Amino acid sequence: MKFTCDKTSLLREISFAQEIIASKNALSIMSNVYLEATDSRLLIRATDVKVGFETSIPVSDVVPGAMTVFCDKLTGILSSLPEGDIGIEQDQGRAVLRPASKKARFQLKTLSGEKYPELPRAEEQSYFEMPAKEFRRMVVQTLFSVSTDETRYFMNGVFMEKSPEGSLIMVSTDGRRLAFIKNESAGSLPDFKPVIIPTKVLGIINKRLSDEGMLGIAITEKNIFFRFNAYQISSVLIEGQFPNYQKVIPQNQKTKFSAKKEDMMEALKRVSIFVEQKSNRTFFSLSVGSLILSSEETEIGAAREEIACDYEGEDTTFALNYRYIEEPLRVLDSETITVEFSEPSRAITLRPEPASDYFHIVMPMQID
Amino acid sequence: MPKFTQLPCYILCGPEIGKRNSFIKDIRKRCADADGAQPEYHTFYADDTSVEELINLLQNGSLFSSRRIVEYRNAELVTGKNDIAVLAGYAASPSPEALLFLITESYSLAKPLETAVGSAGKVVFWELRDYEKPTWVRERLAQYRLSIDDEALTALFELVENETSALDSACIMLAAYFPAGTRLGIDEIESTLSKSRQEDAFSLFDRISGGDMTAALNVLDTLLADRQSDATQIIAALVWSFRKIERLHFLTGNGAVSGAGQGADAGPCLDLETAFRQEKITTKTGQRKFRAALRQFSADECSRAVRAAAATEGALRGGLGASFERPLLHLLICSIMSGNCSSPALSGWKEEEYYRFN
């Protein structure tokens, strides 16, 4: 097996592959990237068993063949080289790398490509498309609320379903907060069974997907497939019963206040200096036209900041985990935000103002 | 939140896991009955989950459940003054929607925690006394319409930990293997329970006396990876086992016990069956294992193995510390199994030749 290609193109794809590979054990084939040269293209595959990645780049001087090499080291070698072409040749169980611009030669042990795990495939006709920008927006609104508690594995991913009206819904929760988005501009969607998508693949999509063009999605019984640019990414789905999220979406929250998102984020950042190391509990005290954010009193001290808000109700105080407010605030894409609530011990809802197709629900903390 | 009177915080102490689990199960059921829904349930370990994370979870309302129940195990590991104060602060002013079990297998927790929880919230689960155990097992087996011989009962206690959850699992397994109406004898107990026994320091000794070094080292690694066993317990079990063989050699006239000095009597020259009885090795499996060990190790080798184990324990408690736990135990086993210091692993080892056998 032999090929020559542009080092930058190869490095870009190998770095992507390295993000997929979880193992750092140089002796395991699971730490390797699969390279297959055919005609004028190099097929690149990587997997951690759960997530699969495949792409191809143009290459020249091809002698067809396949091999796998330790991806971490290959990334390291390619990163260290200057721009230009690189020739890679398989020779007696080793991959020999020769950059065109340097009198350098690197050898990497290879393992047979035949032993590399097969990646799952979806039938061509099962793919549907939606604007990449819309899908990415949905991921951004939900990804951070996923539970990291492995004992609640069914909450370790983002729930995706098609609503009866044909919209695409994504929901995530860790049991204390919930993120919801319902996209009505996803286009015509085929029917599919609701799925729970692991965070790893969504994190990769969020990082690599541009806002231009369309994203191809296919869903099978056990896997989800994404196709964009020259990439095909697959992931096993999380099996399990996602909680009945509709039941916990507050329906009649009559009290609300609005504030500038930037003011709230800045105040929260300053007050959080005193809540970070403890229980993250932050107090929000409302009175007409004013919101006071404050921390608990500690031996070290306390913080308190007042910001202007649009509120006309009775004086009230609730406590929230500041992280549960800070994270939604980062992704709310409006200058002003609205917080809806009914009483201090019940869920609050954060929305952009004007209201959009998404919102975030947070359960408050014990006040004393 | 439905009305339900229940202490919001408990300290559950003692080594009796089965009784403790029953206590928790009962409270969970009462909560579920009162709420009309299963409470949200979490289990954390003090060495994995910080007090801050615990408090955060207890104080934060849940979207999907009206009550949160949290088991915080190994609570004796909460030793920092600040952590104790935070936890005691919570116990003094707990969330009305949460129930916290501070769990330890020792008998008490830090004073401020005990004070904050109060005596009403502290429950100690004692081990079954020796005279209680037979009745407990017989009653449990009777639920499956099984009965058991006295000798078989002794064998069962030899194979199963003195703890009701372990005894209960053994009874369930016996019920799965044997039809109702069976009277269990020693053969039934051994054939069922000795195969299902988990690896422990004694099964490590079995591998050592079996002469399979790879298997022995694998078992050792399993034990070290399992939080239930630490190096000191492993060494203690090995020392106990080697002393047992040494005594069997002595009783059968094949050697003196360590510390008896030179020229000590060779022992009463009992036959092996009598020696087994005297040493309370009653099960056939136990006897088979000790026969193998007697063939594998002479009384003198046992005595040297005990010394090597003691020296290893000294090293572990001394400067070498826990960082070298695995290599030191590996070396100990290699030394014991390779006899006259022939293991290359030992050459050049500086620790004052404490592994040397000759």
Domain assignments of chain A as residue spans, ordered by start:
2-115, 124-247, 255-362
Which residues in B lie closer than 8 A to residue A368 (C-beta atoms)? 93
pLDDT in tens, A99-114: 988 888 999 999 888 8
pTM above 0.90, yes or no: no
**CATH of region A2-115:** 3.10.150.10
Per-residue model confidence (pLDDT) at position B227: 60
B61 at interface of A, judged by CB pairs closer than 8 A: yes
Q: Based on the number of CB atoms within 10 Å of its own CB, is A258 exposed (0-12), middle (13-18) or buried (19 or more)? A: middle
**Identity of the residue in B43, B52, B64 whose CB atom sits nearest the CB atom of A175:** B64
Whole-number Å distance between alpha carbons of B311 and B305 = 10
Mean pLDDT of A78-101: 92
The ipTM estimated for the assembled molecules is 0.85
**CATH of region A124-247:** 3.10.150.10
3-state SS, residue B288: helix
Q: What is the b/e burial string over B14-29, where b = at least 16 CB atoms within 10 angstroms of the residue's CB?
A: bbbbbbbbebbeebbe
Mean pLDDT of A312-322: 93
Interface test with B, best of A148, A180, A246, A279 (most B CBs within 10 A): A279
Architecture of domain A255-362: Roll (3.10)
Q: What are the CA-CA distances from residue A72 to residues A27, A53, A75, A83, B313 (Å)?
A: 12, 16, 5, 19, 41
User: Does the beta-carbon distance from B62 to A363 stay under 8 Å?
Assistant: yes
Mean pLDDT of A15-41: 87
Q: Which pair of structure tokens corresponds to residue B126?
A: 């004692």
**Identity of the residue in A178, A280, A345 whose CB atom sits nearest the CB atom of B61:** A345
User: Does the beta-carbon distance from B40 to A277 stay under 8 Å?
Assistant: no
Q: Which residues contact A269 (CB under 8 A, 6 or more apart)?
A: A326
Whole-number Å distance between alpha carbons of A180 and A165 = 16
Q: Which residues contact A311 (CB under 8 A, 6 or more apart)?
A: A256, A257, A258, A286, A287, A288, A289, A290, A291
Question: Closest Cα to residue A20, out of A88, A72, A57?
Answer: A72
Q: Which pair of structure tokens corresponds to residue B235?
A: 């060494």
**pLDDT above 90 coverage of chain A, percent:** 79
Question: Closest Cα to residue A88, out of A147, A161, A129, A36?
Answer: A36
Contact B57, B71 (CB under 8 A): no
Report the C-alpha dihedral over residues B324, B325, B328, B332, rounded to 10 degrees.
180
Mean pLDDT of A68-88: 93
pLDDT in tens, B301-320: 888 888 888 888 877 776 55
Question: Residue A189: phi, psi to the nearest 5?
Answer: -105, 140
Question: Residue A22: phi, psi to the nearest 5?
Answer: -95, -30
Task: State the nearest Cα–Cα gap between A218 and chain B, in angstroms.
Answer: 31
Q: What are the CA-CA distances from residue A227 to residues A35, A129, A221, A366 (Å)?
A: 19, 9, 18, 45
Which residues in A lie closer than 8 A to residue B40 (C-beta atoms)? 175
Average pLDDT of chain B is 82
Please check whether the two domains, A2-115 and A255-362, share a CATH topology. yes
Per-residue model confidence (pLDDT) at position B196: 60
**Identity of the residue in B52, B59, B63 whose CB atom sits nearest the CB atom of A366:** B59
For chain B, 358 residues long, give each residue's pLDDT as a single digit of tens.
444 467 899 999 998 888 999 999 999 999 999 988 889 999 999 988 899 889 999 999 999 999 999 999 999 999 999 899 989 999 999 999 999 999 998 899 999 999 999 999 999 999 888 888 899 999 999 999 999 999 899 889 888 888 888 898 889 889 988 999 999 998 888 888 876 666 677 788 888 888 888 888 888 888 887 666 678 888 888 888 898 898 898 888 876 555 444 445 556 677 888 888 888 787 777 788 888 888 888 888 888 888 888 888 877 776 555 667 888 888 888 888 876 443 333 333 444 444 444 3
Task: State the nearest Cα–Cα gap between B85 and chain A, in angstroms.
Answer: 12
Q: What single DSSP character describes residue A310?
A: B
Angle at B48 (CA atoms; ends B47, B49), nearest 5 degrees: 105
Per-residue model confidence (pLDDT) at position B217: 87
Checking if the pLDDT of A276 tops 70, the result is no
Contact B113, B101 (CB under 8 A): no
In single-letter form, the type of residue at position B202 comes to: F
User: Does the beta-carbon distance from B56 to A280 stay under 8 Å?
Assistant: yes
Whether the bond between B327 and the residue before it is cis, its omega within 30 degrees of 0, is no
Mean pLDDT of A309-336: 94
Task: State the nearest Cα–Cα gap between A173 and chain B, in angstroms.
Answer: 9
Question: Residue B247: phi, psi to the nearest 5?
Answer: -70, -40
